[in-house]
Amino acid sequence: MNRTRRSLLAVPFACLARAATLTPRQRVDRALAGQDLDRPPISLWHHFGLEKHGGARHAEATLQFHRDYATDLVKVMSDFPFPKPAGAWWEVREQDNPFPEQVGALRAIARGLAGSAHFVETIFNPWNVAEKLSSPDEVRRLMREQPQRLLDALEVIARSEASHVRRALAAGASGIFLAIANAQEGLLTREEYRKFSAPFDRMVLDAARSAPLNILHLHGDRVNLDEFLAGWPAPAINYSVHGSGIPFAQVRRKFTGVLLGGVDERDYRTRTTERMRADIRLARAQAGPKLIVTPGCSVPDDSQPAELRRLAEAAALS
């Protein structure tokens, strides 16, 4: 490593942040528009596990994470549980405000950011909520044995989540991060996903149609990514390039929106700054300017501060 290279890597993290010429919000806006950037915008996230401590503590942790790790896009985690019914899980009732603590957290996050950065609210799709209310096996059993009962329950959950989406946007969110984990081989067939999940995922997303930054998070290594490259009201897609083996170049041939990803989340804790720089260079070459550099999914919850800082360091040096 030459002397110049060593000196760059020795630059304090705070100094790298100060050297930027754009604000986080400006950087994301320019990526959405496909315009030139001083560096690619970044984001990363993990679960804080603070849902038992209420919305205020959740908001505080979210804002501190944004400040500590120089994220350009604030992806708000959402781990507060959907209200369980008194009887069988499929007797779930529609909720006008299913996540009141989360709404309070979103308002506090909006106040803390004061417009300096976009933030998006995480929504786990209705199928996932049903699994949390019961179990993955129980949801699939109901699909086989009493399909209409499952469809009715998923619609109730979707309407409730759509109500939450409208509250999230009113609180200041720039859009939603809709996490879809069941559109992959081995969990549902394409036909099953189209019947039992897609209509309800669309119902949730439609509630945020007017928002500028809706993101589809397509989870899993065997995701049917081609199902989502057209016809969904979301200008951005996040998926795991490394887990799925689907390069950005392949997706870019059919998808003209913003791609989020590029960094391997599977070995994030041991991935060096130099390897992240290589990830970023490849992502930029394949995705073009409509890119927000992120891991393909949540990074490990026990990631240490020095490890979490590597993404911003790599982006600043790219």
Beta-bridge mates of residue 216 = 178, 237
The verdict on residue 281 lying in a domain is yes
SS3 state of residue 270: helix
Percent of the chain with pLDDT over 70: 94
pLDDT one-digit tens code per residue, 62-79: 999 999 999 999 999 999
Among 5-19, 120-134, 171-185, the minimum mean pLDDT is found in 5-19
Identify the domain containing residue 100 by its residue range.
40-316
State the chain's mean pLDDT as an integer. 93
d(CA 261, CA 239): 6
- What is the pLDDT confidence band of residue 318, given thresholds at 50, 70 and 90? confident
Residue 18: CB atoms within 10 A of its CB come to: 7
| Domain-located, residue 14 | no
**pLDDT score, position 107:** 98
Domain presence at residue 65:
yes
Band (pLDDT 50/70/90 cuts) for residue 20 is: low
- Give the count of domains, the chain: 1
CATH number at residue 185: 3.20.20.210
Which pLDDT score is estimated for 21? 84
CA dihedral 270, 225, 70, 167 (to 10 degrees): -130
- Domain-located, residue 279: yes
Is the pLDDT score of 172 beyond 50? yes
The upper half-sphere exposure of residue 292, i.e. CA atoms within 13 Å in the direction of its Cβ, equals 31
Report if residue 8 sits inside a domain. no
Inter-axis angle of helices 100-113 and 55-69, nearest 10: 40
Domain assignment present for residue 29? The answer is: no
Classify residue 87 by burial, with Cβ atoms within 10 Å: 0-12, 13-18, 19+.
exposed
pLDDT above 60 (res 256): yes
